[in-house]
Every structure is written in C-alpha cells, then in structure tokens.
Amino acid sequence: MKKPDDNPYVEPPIRAEFDGTDEITEDEAREQIELLREAVEYHDYRYYVENDPVVADKTYDALYDRLEKVEDEFGLVDQSSPTRRVGGAPLDELESREHVVEMLSLDSSEEEDEVRAFDERVRETVGEVDYHVEPKFDGLSVELVYDDGVLEAAVTRGDGVVGDEVTANLRTVRSVPLRLREAPERLVVRGEVLMPKDGFQELNRRRVERGDEPFANPRNAAAGTVRQLDPSVVADRPLDVYAYDIMETTAEVGSQSEAVGLLEELGFLVDEESRLVDGIGGFVEYRDELLGRRDELGYEIDGVVAKVESFDARERLGSTATHPRWAFAYKFPAKTDETRVAGIAVQVGRTGKLTPVVLLEPVDVDGVTISRASLHNEKQARELGVSEGARVEVERAGDVIPQVKEVIEDGDGSFRMPESCPACGSEVVQEDEHHYCTGGVGCPAQLQGRLEHYASRDAADIEGMGEEVVATLVDEGLVSELPHLYDLTVDDLRALKGFGGKSARKLVEEIEESKEVSLASFLTGLGIRHVGKERAARLADSMDLDGLREADANDLRRVEDVGPEVAETVAGFFEGRGGTVVEELLERGVEPESKETGGSDVLEGQSFVFTGSVEGYTRRELTDELERHGANVTSSVSSATDYLVVGENAGDTKLKDAQEHGVEKLDEKEFREDVLETL
C-alpha cells in the first residue's frame, strides 16, 4: 500500500499541535480525523499485512487514542473508521445474503494424472498457457464487497448462491481493509479467512486454561469465529483474510497476476508464495515444493491451486455449473496413517475431568511419530468405535493434537469410562457428555494439578512452587489439601529432598506473601470449572468475596460473560467442598482483596434491554456500565423490563414485545442524555 502523501501523522514525529486537547472547530476536527484515520490505517497495514511496523506501539496508541477522542467529541464516528475494529453490538442471528457473483468451487484431485488431464483440456480449448499458482488455503471462503472503496459487505460462501452476512465480524479483522486508497468504484474480492497456526495455539491454550473445549484445528476455529454473533469476541481472536481473486471490478485487469498486484496495492493481504509458472510441469514442481514446506508456513494449506493466467483465455474456457474450467486444485495427501490401538487410558485433569487417551502402536505420520491420540469423551470414543485392538486411521489435524479419524477394523468391544476415578477411587459422575471425578482436592491427580495451578503466576504467584516441589509435598503427605500449604514450616521443608535451610525459608516466605492476593488472582487459583483468568477478573470486578460466597446462580448470571452453566458451577463450588476450602484458607490468613469498582446504585432495581447498536459502545461495554450502577440488563423484553434502548438497526421482535408489555422505549439520544450522561 502506498503511504498517504504529506500526512504528518504517518511517521514520527507526530505534529505537536494536533496532540493536546486544544480547542478545534468541527471543520478542523474533520480534517484531523481524516489524517488520523489514514495514519492508523497505514500503520495497521504495516503491522498486520506487511508484518513490518514503522512506529513504536506508543506512537500508534497515541494516534489511535487521539482519533477516538476527536471522533467521540464531535460525534463523527463511522463504520469504516479503524476505531470500529473493536466490534459492534451482538446480533440476534446471521442474515442470509446473496453473492454478487456466484461463488463456484474448485475442481480438485490428489492425483497427478488428473492434474495433467485438466491441463490437456485447457490446451485443447485455448492452446499453451501460463499458470498462476497459489497455495490452497484451508480456511473458509468469503466475498468482500467494496463500493467506492468502502467495505459494504462480507459474506461467507454458503451454497454458492447465498451465504451468511458476517460484515460486522470481518470488520474486526485487521488484515481486511475497511477503506481502500485510490479504489475502483466497484470491487468484489474473494478470499479465505484463516487462523494462523501460532494464534490458534495461543487461543487454544487460553481456552484450556478457562476450562473450555479447545478447537480441533485452525479451520474449525476460524469457521466458529466467523459465525460468532458477538463481533467483540471476533475482535479478540487472531484471524486473517488472504485475498486471492477479484470477482468483479470497474478497474482494468487482464490477468491473475495483475489482479493480485492490484489487491496488494489496495492494501489487501496477499500470499507471498504465489507465482507464475509456464505450463503444467511448473505447477507439479510447485506442488512438490510446497508439500515439502507446508509445516514452515504460518497457516494451514491443503494443496495448491493453478489458475489460467490470462483472463481472455479464462473467458473462452468458461465454467461448469459447479466450478470454473480455468482452475484446478492439486490436493495434498491428508496427514494420516494407519496403526493399531494398544489400549485406552483415562487421564484425570486439573478440574477432575476424565479424558480417554488412545495409546497407539507408534506410527510416523508425515515425519512425526504419533503414539497417543486424545478423545474428548466417552461419547466420541463410542461414536468412532475406538477400542483396544482396533485398527485406526490417525490424522495430524492442524499440526496439533493427533486425532483418530476412523476405525478401519473393530477392536475388542466398546470403551466405557470407569465408574471410579483411576487416580483416587472416588465416584465418577457424568455431566452432559463429560465425566468428572468427585474427589476434588482430595484426588491426587487433581491435587497435584490444583496446587500447581494455585501457585501459578496468574493465581497466588508462589515462586519456587513448581511441578517438582508440588510433587514432593504431595508424595510426602505434607499437603493433602490446598489450605495445608499455609501450615508448612521451615522445618517441614528442610527435611525434604532438594531443600536446604535457605531454600526452605525462601519458600515459606513466598507462601506467606501469597496471602495478600487480589480477588481475581485468588479466584483464578481456586480452579473452579469454567473460571479461568478472564472470567475470574469479571467476577472480581462485580462482587467482593463475601458477595460471591453468598451469591446464588441468579445473582451470578448478572456478571458479564457468565451464562447459566457457569453460574451454576460457581454457586455450586462455594456451596460445596470449595466453600470449605475457601473458609480454611481465610482462617489461615489469606486475604483476597477486591478492586474499587467505582460503581453506584443509582440504577438499582431498573431493568434494561438493548436492541440495535449504540454508536461508540459495544453491547458488553454498555451492559458493564449499567450494571456497575446497579441496573439489571437482560436479553429479552418482558413485563419486568423498564426500558428498551433502541439503537441503530434495531430488531423488530424486541420492539413488538415492548409495545405489547407497555415497556418505555428510549432512542439513542434519550438514552445518552437521560441515562449514560447521568452516571
């Protein structure tokens, strides 16, 4: 992308006179906003597309903050501003939308013969051709529609004719330009939404930490994210869109290379592995090369694509009902192989969840030896029919956890979860599709994990209490429940293998210091199911510890990001064994402290429902703000609702319900003036 000429904000130093909170007129504000948007867009591009930022984070933040401030002060926000990337109001459902140009699929094969046959058909019709060769991205296809250079719509590929409109979600993706520079009047682009491998690993790590199910592979993660109803969730997930085709444009383009060149110039993320080759031999070589390098790429690919370079030739070739005759995908063989199941073990996780682990006769799949595969639960094991002795096809899905894809030959029967915990013998209970040990902190498998977790940096942060030390404490019987940690003495520790006087004193000191802990870290450390670091922070922001201990599921549901299941779990934790553990920790002097919330009770007893969006706020921010002042925010209108806040793009159902129940409506202006501004 070209650098916006003469824009003082694009590179430091930033012009000083635009920095302060100087009085400016509305015209000056408009001018400033334009320059700041260009600058932020340019720096987003350098960072997210080129991977080559030219300013320090601090400088970028200053530009962004200034832009947000001027937009807010003058009420000059619009959907294509880079400040809107944080995600707008949640939707009730995704709308269907017809594609501008029918989205065909690709003819494909794993066989070289078929690839050569495709080339013969091409040459019969148009003679010798060059091919533009590209990776075949393993994500999901989207259509991006730009009018006068502004992103108007993003639609996933559905059945080829109609897809789901996901514009609000894709606006949060930094590699999707919201405005194009020097753009053609009309541009329809096709590309692939992907989750890069590193971002995927990190996202799964965070999910596991919160007790959520990890995504099986980057493709599933990307697909699940794009179909989210809450754009602010999408904004927090690492997605990219690679642009690979122009479907319609008013610009002059005569070949695929020109099309890709134009996309790049306009600020889209285009892939660097694409190139022009002469003839099908070049394509086959390209396939071999990328197959060898697929693990080095930052994203998943499942093959390569050849496209006839010249658009004239393409037109002569035309399309069938399902795919163009000018393109072909040479698919990679799946990363799978066959082996035998040696047994199925059952693992007990930190939160007591039991997971079956398939033990395999070691097999090499695409250069990596696989000897274990995990399953989510008993149901999955049964559905797949995995049991000891079975012959199975295993797959390295998304370079992560190996999976059993299919049973080729049955084993000795069906697998069942044990009725008692393999680690402690306590009863195992089933909740939904999962099984849990009820031993809690009394289960050694959990105790070890629970103590490590409690001592971890995001929790009580007890330095020096890593895996080995915890194992020693548990094995020696010094700690059989979490609160016992606080009974440890220097003498106890000094007697242990690996400890001297100094290290024993140091650890006791560390444990003593951990008594002063923030409520959020304390809650994180308790290892309550579904409550990781982020949710713990939300709970801590809305209640103090006494409040939490007394709260029932209904009270807890008012906390942001806490649904019915989480609310039940948290309430259940404090009512049961967890409550006793907390009591014992407090008795030993642990003092979790709440943050000042800065709230009030001016909205106490008033109930709000939102429909549509309120400019400048996400639904989450609004809910938080009202709840901090005592209001109750719910998702549907009933006779208990006091106000329906009607924002932009409001839904009919809620308006009708409000009418029916005689609920007072507040338009955006009334809501701002009569509610928000009084807080």
Active site (catalytic) residues = 136
Among 141, 167, 217, 618, binds ligand IVH (CB under 6 A): 141
Residue among 86, 100, 104, 400 that touches ligand IVH (CB under 6 A): 104
Q: How many amino acids of this chain bind ligand IVH (CB under 6 A)?
A: 15
Q: Is 157 in the site for ligand IVH (CB under 6 A)?
A: yes
Q: Which is nearer to ligand IVH, 41 or 245 (CB)?
A: 245
Host H or E run for residue 108: strand 108-109
- Pick between residue 259 and residue 392 the one whose CB is nearest to ligand IVH: 259
Encoded tokens for 294: 């697929």
Q: Which is nearer to ligand IVH, 191 or 483 (CB)?
A: 191
Under rule CB under 6 A, residue 327 binds ligand IVH? yes
Which residue is at the shortest CB distance from ligand IVH? 141
Contacting residues for 35 by C-beta, under 8 A, at least 6 apart: 7, 8, 9, 18
Return d(Cα 54, Cα 447) in angstroms, integer: 48
Q: Which is nearer to ligand IVH, 225 or 611 (CB)?
A: 225
For residue 205, give the nearest of 401, 72, 37, 396 by alpha carbon: 401
Whether residue 545 contacts residue 594, with contact meaning beta carbons closer than 8 Å, is answered with: yes
Q: Is 105 in the site for ligand IVH (CB under 6 A)?
A: yes
Three-state DSSP class for residue 240: strand
- Provide the mask over 184-223, with x wherever binding to ligand IVH is found by CB under 6 A and - wherever it is not: ------x-x-------------------------------
Applying CB under 6 A, does 324 fall inside the site for ligand IVH? yes
Please give the Cα distance from 128 to 310 (Å, whole number): 11
Q: Is residue 631 involved in binding ligand IVH (CB under 6 A)? A: no
Type of residue at 275: R
Going by C-alpha positions, the residue among 134, 41, 131 that lies closest to residue 85 is 41
Shortest approach of ligand IVH to residue 337 CB, angstroms?
24
**Judged by CB under 6 A, does residue 137 bind ligand IVH?**
yes
Smallest separation, CB 287 to ligand IVH (Å): 13
Compute the least distance from the CB of residue 242 to ligand IVH, in Å: 8
Alpha helical stretches, state H, 127-214: 167-171, 197-209
474 contributes a contact to ligand IVH by CB under 6 A: no
- Using CB under 6 A as the binding rule, whether residue 122 contacts ligand IVH is answered as no
* Nearest to ligand IVH of 66, 190 (CB atom): 190
Amino acid at 474: V
Per the CB < 8 A criterion, the answer to whether 523 and 540 are in contact is yes
Question: For residues 9 and 268, which CB has a smaller minimum distance to ligand IVH in the complex?
Answer: 268
- Contact status, residue 446 vs residue 578, Cβ threshold 8 Å: no
Q: Are 64 and 86 in contact (CB under 8 A)?
A: no
Residue 588 and residue 586: Cα distance in Å, rounded? 5
Is 277 among the residues that bind ligand IVH (CB under 6 A)? no
By CB under 6 A, tell whether 146 contacts ligand IVH.
Answer: no
Q: How far is the CB of 609 from ligand IVH (least distance, A)?
A: 38
Cα separation, 251 vs 311, whole angstroms: 13
Task: Give the C-alpha distances (Å, rounded to integers) separating 302 from 37, 85, 331.
Answer: 37, 30, 6
Determine, following the binding rule CB under 6 A, whether residue 134 of this chain makes contact with ligand IVH: yes
Confirm or reject binding of residue 136 to ligand IVH (CB under 6 A). Answer: yes
Upper half-sphere CA count for residue 29 (Cβ side, 13 Å): 16
Which lies closer to ligand IVH via its Cβ, residue 17 or residue 159?
159
Q: Select from 32-40, 130-138, 613-621, 654-662 the region that touches ligand IVH (CB under 6 A).
A: 130-138
228-257 residues near ligand IVH, rule: CB under 6 A: 244-245
HSE of 606, CA atoms in CB hemisphere, 13 A: 19
* Closer CB to ligand IVH, 296 or 677, in the complex: 296
Structure tokens at 202: 């990190």
- The Cα–Cα gap between 115 and 287 comes to 11
132 binds ligand IVH (CB under 6 A): no
Helix (H) or strand (E) holding 324: none
Interaction site with ligand IVH (CB under 6 A) = 104-106, 134, 136-137, 141, 157, 190, 192, 244-245, 305, 324, 327
